[in-house]
Amino acid sequence: MKKIIPIFLLLPLLGLLSLTEFSNSLGNIDSQKPVREVLTALGEPQPDHFISSMPAKASIEIGENIVFTGTAESVSLQSPHFVCTSCHNVEKEFADLRDTDPQKRLEYAVENDLPFLPASPFYGIVNRTSWYNGDYEKKYGDLVIPARKDLRAAIQLCAVECSQGRLLKNWELESVLGYLWTLELKMEDLAIPENEYPKFENGNSKNTASLIADLKSYYPQSSPAHFVTPPEDRRTGYDVVGNAENGEKLFNHSCLHCHQDQRYSFFELNDSKITKKFLGKHFPKYSRYSIYQVSRHGAPSHPGKRAYMPQFTKEKMSDQQIEDLRAYLE
Amino acid sequence: MKGIFTLLLMGCLFVGYSQNPNTRDLVYRTFKDTRVINTQSVETLPARKLDIRISHRFGDLFGANGGWGTFYGLENAADVLIGADYGITDNLTIGLNRTKGAGPLTRLVNTNLKYKILGQGISSGSPVTLTVLAGSSIATSKKIDDPELLTSFPKTAHRFMYNFQVMIGRKFSDRFSLQLTPGFVHRNLVTAADENGLFSLGLAFRLQVTKVLGIITDATIPFSSLRTTERGYYIPLGVGLEIDTGGHVFQINLTNATGLAPADYIPNTRSNWADGQFRMGFTISRLFNL
């Protein structure tokens, strides 16, 4: 009996210790707590695209199906050419969301076995306040005006113009939005030093505005987009020295994502010598097979064959990375 | 005869059920197109892809009916195919096309049902890709009131012809693919001196020269004592170049076959390469997402 009593006393203690060891909290703020909830507690109003309840027929599951497969039950494909994940990851793409350097994005993609894509990730997209920024106006004109301040309008613009499909029905749109809200940023996603946490949990009416601004500084509110051109002289290329090893990573995580087994493209690529020789040979040429051409200008869609390749902005693929690809393929 | 084919098809389907082609990594594109030149390849269309096809066979390049008089056959059309295939699933393709017809029966409406049973594994699994095809052709030409002619069509059923093929292909490397095609053609109405059923064996290969350019060849050997060179029949043999620019496959070829439908060219090729009776042909194929 004397032996049993200490064991009974020790067991709850061990339980408490294990909770301490494995609990996932940062101060009083749960690391899994959505950033939006912390902002709301600090007095930030909910964004217009926040969903408090779903309309009939809509569901997060349907939204997820549309994002991954382009369809939900008993409706036609949103687009016969692409699905959302052709161009968007649903995972985080940076270790530190503030640092959007394309090379760090590539390294993160390689480390986490993600594709390296031309569009912004869905992870955290509901936390942004602007979409279709920068030079997308050059591509889509006035269509970007409503899309820049309204995520629903941005989704519809993407559905019709980017994926060359149809407008989403309202219940489909709300379903997609519902799914995107499952990908909202959590406090643990932000690179906030631990000693900074208390100020967000102990905010008071005097400094909430600066606290909100401070918290928002840990993640981008928008995704800058600059369209850039191929090098003036394609034979000499951009004025940097390519790294073939890095180029191989790009080829595997970017080019092959769409082109391998003609997943989204009619133009098949693989890691054979024939393919690499072909791409290397055309790299410096002024042709539609030149990666300078398609990475910076994309490939156009045609009537009756509307699948196309979107271009990579400067923020999504650097000149250095394009030279890395060239070094690998040549 | 029918029993043997039924058993063969059942056997293939059994193997297919036991080895689902979608469950492991498979070799991609043993051939670039669903056809080689005259024969079908092991390839099926991906799901929801529509393939609009136009094929053409000109007249004899040389020989009595070729040369300058016909501008080396370009002024004649031995056969023309216009049609489409559609991928219901990645492994099941249906097709409908119309050919002019180069044999005794013309104005053919052809249908085909093609199913990929096995895919060649990349590192393990099946060493070959196995696809079966069942097709029918119906001659829609006018009925001619002469019982000596096949086109007298005593019964509507006499307008029908069928073909069955088992395609066994292997991609040996990124550059070289080979295919064997045992097949059977059945024509409901033939002349008294002919036979309704005809077995054949097709052989095809593809050699990838560059990323977009390949050399293709195929031949189909009919097994029949009635289909000999002494009787004026020759093995349909084609060689060609295939250009794949992505979504658009263009093929230019030379072949002694005049017809395009299997039930047409396999029993009815009477042109001889050695006599200059081969022709230029081309196929334009364009894929659409639906």
The interface pTM score, or ipTM, of the predicted complex is 0.78
Supply the pLDDT for residue A276: 95
DSSP, collapsed to helix, strand or coil, labels residue B59 as strand
Kind and range of the H or E element at B219? strand B213-223
pLDDT reading at A54 higher than 50 = yes
Tokens of A55: 């309309």
Hey, is the C-beta of B22 within 8 angstroms of any chain A C-beta?
A: no
Percent of chain A with pLDDT over 90: 75
HEC assignment per residue over A87-107 = HCCCCCCCCCCCCCCHHHHHH
Decide if B42 is inside a domain: yes
Decide if B23 is inside a domain: no
Cβ distance of A266 and B28 shorter than 8 Å: no
| A270 pLDDT tier (thresholds 50, 70, 90) | very high
CA-nearest residue to A281 within chain B is B211
Hey, is the C-beta of A78 within 8 angstroms of any chain B C-beta?
A: no
Question: What type of residue is B189?
Answer: L
Which tens digit of pLDDT belongs to each residue from B50-81? 999 999 999 999 999 999 999 999 999 999 99
Higher confidence at residue A196 or residue A119? A119
Tell me which residue range forms the domain holding B206: 2-18+29-289
Mean pLDDT (10-residue bins), chain B, 290 residues: 49 45 72 96 95 96 94 96 97 98 96 97 93 97 91 94 98 96 97 94 96 96 95 97 86 97 96 96 91
Supply the pLDDT for residue B153: 94
Decide if B136 is inside a domain: yes
pLDDT reading at A192 higher than 50 = yes
Decide if A109 is inside a domain: yes
Best of A263, A267, A269 to substitute, by most chain B Cβ atoms within 10 angstroms, is: A267
Chain A residues within an 8 Å CB radius of B288:
304-305
Cβ distance of A274 and B211 shorter than 8 Å: yes
Supply the pLDDT for residue A205: 58
Supply the pLDDT for residue A28: 65
Provide the number of CB pairs (under 8 Å) joining chain A to chain B: 44
Which residue stretches of A207-272 are H helix? 208-216, 244-250, 256-259
Q: Measure CA of the first residue to CA of the last residue in chain B; give whole Å.
A: 40
Contact (Cβ atoms closer than 8 angstroms) between residue A185 and residue A93: no
Sign of CA dihedral A207, A213, A217, A218: positive
Chain A residues within an 8 Å CB radius of B248:
266
Cβ distance of A305 and B286 shorter than 8 Å: yes
Supply the pLDDT for residue A3: 58
Question: What type of residue is B5?
Answer: F
Looking up residue A268, the CATH number of its domain turns out to be 1.10.760
Which tens digit of pLDDT belongs to each residue from A7-52? 555 554 444 444 443 334 445 677 889 999 999 988 899 999 999 8
> Are A86 and A221 members of one domain?
yes
Supply the pLDDT for residue B265: 97
**CA–CA separation, B260 vs A259, rounded Å?**
32
Hey, is the C-beta of A267 within 8 angstroms of any chain B C-beta?
A: yes
Hey, is the C-beta of B176 within 8 angstroms of any chain A C-beta?
A: no
Decide if A7 is inside a domain: no
> Are A114 and A50 members of one domain?
yes
Total of domains in chain A: 2
Decide if A267 is inside a domain: yes
Tokens of A43: 């007095």
Which tens digit of pLDDT belongs to each residue from A134-181? 999 999 999 999 999 999 999 999 999 999 999 999 999 999 999 999
Kind and range of the H or E element at B10? helix B2-18
Kind and range of the H or E element at A138? helix A136-140
Q: Which residues of A161-189 are buried (b: 16+ CB within 10 A; e: fewer)?
A: bbbbbbebeebbbbbbbbbbbebbbbbbb
pLDDT reading at A5 higher than 70 = no
Cβ distance of A274 and B290 shorter than 8 Å: no
Cβ distance of A274 and B247 shorter than 8 Å: no
Q: If we measure between CA atoms, which residue out of B106, B109, B127 comes closest to residue B118?
A: B127
Cα dihedral B23/B28/B32/B33 (nearest 10): 0
Decide if A261 is inside a domain: yes
pLDDT reading at A97 higher than 90 = yes
Tell me which residue range forms the domain holding A181: 23-225
Tokens of A164: 């060359």
DSSP, collapsed to helix, strand or coil, labels residue B198 as strand
pLDDT reading at A295 higher than 80 = yes
> Are A119 and A207 members of one domain?
yes
